Amino acid sequence: MRTAEIKRRYLAHFEANGHTVVPSAPLPAVDDPNLLFINAGMVQFVPFFLGQRTPPYSRATSVQKCIRTPDIDEVGKTSRHGTFFQMNGNFSFGDYFKEGAIKLAWELSTNPVDKGGFGLDPERIWATVYLDDDEAIDIWRRTGLPAERIVRRGKKDNFWSMGIPGPAGPCSELYYDRGGAYGKEGGPEVDEDRYLEYWNLVFMQHEITNVKSKEIFDIVGDLPNKNIDTGMGLERIASMLQGVDNLYEIDEVKPILAKAAELTGKRYGQAVSHIAAESHPDDVRLRVIADHVRTALMVISDGVIPSNEGRGYVLRRILRRAIRSMRLLGWQEGPSLPLLLPIARDCMAPSYPEVAAEYDRISQYAYGEEERFLATLSAGTTILDLAVTDTKAKGGKVLAGDKAFQLHDTYGFPIDLTLEIAAEQGLRVDEDGFRRLMAEQKANAKADAQARKTGHADLSVYRAALEQGGPVEFTGYREVSRETRVRSLLGAPVAGEGEEISIVLDATPFYAESGGQLADLGVITFGGGKVEVLDVQSPLPGLVVHRAKVLAGEVRAGDTAFAEIDVDRRRAVSRAHTATHLIHQTMRNFLGESATQAGSLNAPGRLRFDFNTPSAVPASVLHDVEQQVNEVLLRDLLVHAFITSQEEARKLGAMALFGEKYGDEVRVVEVGDYARELCGGTHVERSSQLGLVKILSEASVGSGVRRVEALVGLDAFGHLAREHVLVSRLAELFRVPGDQVADRVEQTVAQLRDAERELEKLRTQLVLSGAAGLADSARDVRGVALVATEAPEGTSANEVRTLVQEIRGRIPAERPAVVAVTSRAGGKASLVVAVNAAGKSRGLSAGALVKGALSGRGGGNADLAQGGGVPAAEAPNLLLAVEKAL
Ligand code: ATP
Ligand code: MG
């Protein structure tokens, strides 16, 4: 039975029994800060189980995409662990309980295939239950399982909780006996590969507190509403129903494995037994490749891109592990993903059409990552090989931590790869040392950033200021100045003229730097003094700190104050911020939804916008983006900000940064009907106030992230005006109309290049014209024709070499001949020597003569050699040395 059919039957069975079919949530677990990826079907229903929200149905069923990163090391070694897998599940929210769950699971497992079931042999099914869950045992007995195939197990295996106070309960797992060929007899406690767990039924019935660990807690009572959560591994049951040994051999995975085997020339299935633990290492690698390529496809499809952190790092590791496994199997032909990933796509597209529809985007990220990794590999491997050889030569067994760190830091060489390569060479790596260096680097970077921003490393000062008067009100959305009061001065009770001080006000129109928008600057005046605001930061949510310099008088806590921002600067920054929103939206219009913001800077009149996209944006697209943005300005759209609920904002389609956490209320900024985005920044009132947006450049700032820089308003105009002046001046100099300047420059450059070449030719001719005369002047030195001379000042090294060979060619071949020419340049002398065939038969060698004259330095062969680097005045001595050596 094909995997897609198993999935269909599962959902159909539960739908027929009153369950609402709920689609899978995307793989990234955006609502849970402790989880990178969804790892079970119940995750999207957690708020229902915790009673935080009321479910719109009392029974649900789903097939959830899951990633379990902790299982990555099991892949290929057991028969049943994938990094990506699909979990079929049925859920009851205060509806049916144990009896219902067991009955529904039993029916689907054992109903004959022609009646819509899976047709499993009831005689081979085993169940485990929690130690004292007699109720479950009783139900199983009544359902038809004999006592000897019901096993009691402890908390570790058969009690479910989330590791926090809240709902918990016993579980009951279903196992299928794959038969004697798969391992030892005796039930799941003896062999979990032979007895394959395919379904876990969780009976949420208790409430727990005092949770010390997964196994140590107190049960406080029973839940008013008992729930059911089940999970059946789709791949596991597919391996059973397809009669294959493991989940890497099912229809959705095996073709990738087969392709990898074909490419590397390996024969899969070399072990004689069915037992996973006895597999040939090559088979394990092929399974890893198949699993990881499929996982990468699904992960990228759900919007994750390779990076050095969080989900992106998991993806990077998975991709790199697959690529490297291919290499370990002998693949050396360059990129392998372009051959493997399309197979994964064809396997998964029947169930997930989006992997085919978006294959261009998905494959660009995957292929790009492989290219980068191959480059990293070739640079890093050389360095690592040297370090390994070095360590071994010194009799060491441990590769130094700073080596591993350097490889990571300079070459982006992942530590797991260093570990793997070192292990292959019989070395360990000082991992502790490596981690210490990594931690140091991280801490330094953090402290640096903190110190730069706030000038204070200690947050307790800020906490005190916040507690003193509650959150500081930011009034700058609607006003540019305001009457207020100094709540506190940080670090000193009073500040006098010339001093720098940090001021907290009760309320402020000053915008603190955040979300890429630079801080407002301005002045604050008091009864007795005045300060200039140099920077504004928000070191804690709700706290605004003005870093200021006292211009006159004194400032003290409790003073009334008048705060006034620099309006021109604010306007110029706001223009940049609104422009950023427009560029963001327009990029998405042209490059697709995945071109999301990855960072930004909004400064007066200029902006930087980083976004995710796999490759360079073509100049023509950039031009179109710029054009469209400027068209939007002319439409004079109203810019409007409002507060709404998170759900409402989502419904409106407001762009929110991927994985970002917001509270319940969010602020949405919209530019007419063109762009809508969650944003806390300040903006212009109408799009026409931007005047003009000019994109200056587009470049890469790391893997899969591009950056555009742009000017806005008068700064954009100023830039264009300056360029215009430049073009006019060039046009004048070249005496052509402005639009022909480029052609003319190109022409002129080409002419210059031709002229240079011509000149070079003439000079060579000139030098060579002396060759005949010099050949005639050869002196006989102990039976050898010697020409020893100095080239005219300014002769290039190339020319000297040509000259030497030219002279040699003009001496009759039967005479043994040596030609030695020196030249001077930059205060140094060099020497070129040539020997002809007859000379070589006499045992003369150009290389030896040069080395002799230059005491060992220089290079070449018996025919022609050169050397230099001695003071220019030595030139005549070099010639004498050659002569003496004959
Ligand atoms: P195991 O002990 O075999 O690792 P588990 O106890 O971690 O399994 P559960 O957390 O109960 O599994 O998940 C429910 C079901 O999901 C399991 O019964 C199994 O069928 C499936 N499953 C769990 N982990 C994986 C995996 N890494 N690959 C494929 N299927 C899995
Ligand atoms: Mg597990």
Which atom of ligand 1 approaches the CA of 237 most closely?
A: 20
Nearest residue (CA) to ligand 1, atom 23? 233
Nearest residue (CA) to ligand 1, atom 22? 233
Which 3-state string (H, E, C) describes 235-257? HHHHHHHCCCCCCCCCCCCHHHH
Q: How confident is residue 118, by pLDDT bands cut at 50, 70 and 90?
A: very high
Q: Which ligand is nearest to the CA of 87?
A: 1
Nearest residue (CA) to ligand 1, atom 12? 200
Rounded distance from Cα 220 to ligand 1 centre (Å): 28
- Amino acid 165: pLDDT: 82
Alpha helices, H only, 521-653: 567-591, 619-634, 646-651
Give the tokens for residue 213.
Answer: 């660990």
Alpha helices, H only, 26-172: 46-49, 98-110, 134-143, 155-158
Cβ proximity of 196 and 236 under 8 Å: yes
- Identify which of 519, 507, 512 has the alpha carbon closest to the alpha carbon of residue 483: 507
pLDDT in tens, 513-543: 988 899 999 999 998 899 999 999 988 878 9
Give the tokens for residue 352.
Answer: 């997930």
**Ligand 1 mutation target, pool 39, 80, 235, 249, most atoms within 8 A of CB:** 80
- Amino acid 530: pLDDT: 95
Which atom of ligand 1 approaches the CA of 192 most closely?
A: 3
Pocket flag, ligand 1, residue 197 (CB < 6 Å): yes
Residue where the block lists tokens 């899976």? 118
DSSP string computed for 138-170: HHHHHHT--GGGEEEE-HHHHEEE-SSSEEEEE
- Identify which of 387, 386, 380, 439 has the alpha carbon closest to the alpha carbon of residue 410: 380
Rounded to whole angstroms, how far apart are CA atoms 665 and 663? 6
Give the tokens for residue 610.
Answer: 């980083």
Strands (E), 492-544: 494-495, 500-505, 507-508, 522-526, 529-537
Q: How confident is residue 764, by pLDDT bands cut at 50, 70 and 90?
A: confident
- Amino acid 445: pLDDT: 64
pLDDT in tens, 35-87: 899 999 999 998 899 888 889 999 999 999 999 998 998 999 999 999 999 99
pLDDT in tens, 538-562: 888 789 999 999 999 999 989 999 9
- Identify which of 641, 654, 642, 638 has the alpha carbon closest to the alpha carbon of residue 687: 638
Nearest residue (CA) to ligand 1, atom 25? 81
Pocket flag, ligand 1, residue 240 (CB < 6 Å): no
- Amino acid 424: pLDDT: 79
pLDDT at 459 over 70: no
pLDDT in tens, 138-191: 999 999 999 999 999 999 899 998 877 888 999 999 999 999 999 899 999 998
Rounded distance from Cα 71 to ligand 2 centre (Å): 7
Q: At what angle do helices 359-393 and 337-348 cross, to 10 degrees?
A: 130
Which atom of ligand 1 approaches the CA of 247 most closely?
A: 29
Q: How confident is residue 661, by pLDDT bands cut at 50, 70 and 90?
A: very low
Beta bridge partners of residue 252, listed in sequence order: none
- Amino acid 458: pLDDT: 56
Rounded to whole angstroms, how far apart are CA atoms 617 and 882? 61
Pocket flag, ligand 1, residue 236 (CB < 6 Å): yes
- Amino acid 450: pLDDT: 52
Q: Which residues contact 858 (CB under 8 A, 6 or more apart)?
A: 831, 847, 850, 851, 865, 866, 867, 868
Rounded to whole angstroms, how far apart are CA atoms 582 and 693? 10
The HSE-up count of residue 841 (CA atoms within 13 Å, CB side) is 7
The model's pTM is 0.58
Give the tokens for residue 474.
Answer: 């930011």
pLDDT in tens, 357-380: 889 889 989 999 998 888 887 777
The fraction of the chain above a pLDDT of 70, given in percent, is: 97
Rounded to whole angstroms, how far apart are CA atoms 624 and 659? 30
pLDDT at 257 over 50: yes
**Ligand 1 mutation target, pool 161, 173, 228, 236, most atoms within 8 A of CB:** 236
pLDDT in tens, 567-603: 999 999 999 999 999 999 999 999 988 888 888 999 9
pLDDT in tens, 137-148: 999 999 999 999
Q: Which ligand is nearest to the CA of 71?
A: 1
545-553/500-505 β-pairing: antiparallel
Which of 713-722, 743-752, 761-770 shows the lowest per-residue confidence on average (mean pLDDT)? 761-770
pLDDT in tens, 234-252: 999 999 999 999 999 999 9
3-state secondary structure (DSSP) of residue 857: coil
Give the tokens for residue 385.
Answer: 């090989």
Q: Which residues contact 293 (CB under 8 A, 6 or more apart)?
A: 256, 260, 322, 337, 340, 341, 343, 344
pLDDT in tens, 302-340: 989 888 778 988 999 899 999 989 988 989 888 999 999
Rounded distance from Cα 66 to ligand 2 centre (Å): 12
Which atom of ligand 1 approaches the CA of 198 most closely?
A: 20
In this structure, the number of other CB atoms found within 10 A of the CB of residue 8 comes to 15
Pocket flag, ligand 1, residue 321 (CB < 6 Å): no
Cβ proximity of 263 and 339 under 8 Å: yes
N residues, the chain: 886
Residue where the block lists tokens 């300056």? 722
Pocket flag, ligand 1, residue 153 (CB < 6 Å): no
Rounded distance from Cα 243 to ligand 1 centre (Å): 19
Rounded distance from Cα 234 to ligand 1 centre (Å): 10
Cβ proximity of 509 and 521 under 8 Å: no
Rounded to whole angstroms, how far apart are CA atoms 609 and 599? 6
Which of 189-198, 553-562, 762-771 shows the lowest per-residue confidence on average (mean pLDDT)? 762-771
For residues 716-731, give the mean pLDDT.
Answer: 94
Nearest residue (CA) to ligand 1, atom 14? 231
